Amino acid sequence: MEHSPVTTNPLIIMMINMTVVFIVLIVLMYLIKLIHLVDPTKVKEEPAQAAEDEEPLVAVKSSASTSAPKPEPVDEGISPEIIAAISAAIAACGISGQVKAVHIVNHEGTAWRNSMRNAQCLMRNGRR
């Protein structure tokens, strides 16, 4: 139902609205903290995530500047053939240098992370 405004004083409207916005978002902030607190999967997922973050850096010293790099043994689930293919693809793009690390990317629910990763790659390559 439509009714007339409680006040038409700009300052009062501004103060009331700003206060309400802050209160709502502060309550939301505590709700988020509460969700984190009661999260039953927290204990299981956090160590797994931490392990995942540490694990996938696979040292590779193959050269990308040569067309047939010599992949070294890799023991983290990435086969030397894949490393060789990545190095060859990079070399084919005309980028010289070494593949220092290969990182397994977890795509699940990390759109912003992927976006940032892409931005980093583009910046590193001087495209923006």
CA atoms within 13 A on the CB side of 109: 1
Spatial contact of 63 and 98, defined as CB atoms under 8 Å apart: yes
State the Cα–Cα distance between residues 123 and 128, nearest whole angstrom.
Answer: 6
11 binds other proteins (CB under 8 A): yes
Instruction: In angstroms, give the least distance from the CB of 97 to other proteins.
Output: 18
10 binds other proteins (CB under 8 A): yes
Choice from 82, 116, 121, 122 touching other proteins (CB under 8 A): 116
103 binds other proteins (CB under 8 A): no
57 binds other proteins (CB under 8 A): no
Bridge partner residues of 101 (DSSP): 59
Q: What is the CA radius of gyration of the chain?
A: 26
Nearer to other proteins by Cβ, of 27 and 59: the residue is: 27
